[in-house]
Amino acid sequence: MSTPLEEQQITVSASSLRSMRDEFQRFLMEYRFGLQEIETKISILREEFHEMHDYNPIEHVSSRVKSPDSLVEKIQRRGIDPDFDSVRARITDIAGIRITCSFVNDVYRLFDLLSAQDDITVREVEDYIATPKGNGYKSLHAILEVPVYLSTGRVDVPVEVQFRTIAMDFWASLEHKIYYKYERQVPDNLLRQLKDAADAAAELDARMTRLHQQIRGAGAVSPTHLV
């Protein structure tokens, strides 16, 4: 007895959807593993500083892989072809990690320690600390590529790493909430207050760095410098 055409179409459609779902999950899995590689490197540095040095520059670490909905929205917004090769080439923040440090010197120090590792490739650096955005936003953004070894072979995965001080992170969190509340149409008076707050945060960072150096000695937190 033959299967009705309608049932055949439903079966094919369900099978196709499951295949697409599985392929998408495999795609995001690569980024999840790449993120884990970077997290492990940071964890090792953090534990070494804790065990071997009388100072730990890492205050807080948070990470995420973009959700499927968020990734699809970005693909559509940027007009990217909906195939995995195009997405790999043009979207580099699918996996992201944020490292919050005590002082500005620590930001550059940690970037140097990570980027100097043999299996890390620095694809891109945007230094919004040296050159802040117009609204006052400060952070060091880096796209670090790390190898992931799967059963099918090596995959080089980009991970966006953001380095901030506590003051920068507090300001960025407030700015995000304000932009969300006003659906990015923020009144001019609030924008001016945000910029003033960014300047105050930068001054706080500078003061706290000077105080820390007075307590520990000027050479205690001197980093290698970003090139």
Q: Which residues are catalytic?
A: 160
Please list, in sequence order, all residues whose beta carbon lies within 8 angstroms of the beta carbon of residue 156, skipping any fewer than 6 positions away: 121, 145, 146, 147, 148
Q: Are 108 and 139 in contact (CB under 8 A)?
A: no
Contacts of 194 (CB under 8 A, 6+ apart): 135, 136, 171, 174, 175, 178, 186
**Alpha-carbon distance 141 to 29, whole Å?**
23
Position 173: which residue type?
S
Q: What is the DSSP string of 68-93?
A: HHHHHHHHHHTT--SSHHHHHHH---
3-state secondary structure of 184: coil
3-state SS record for 129-151: CCCCCCCCCCCEEEEEEEEEEEC
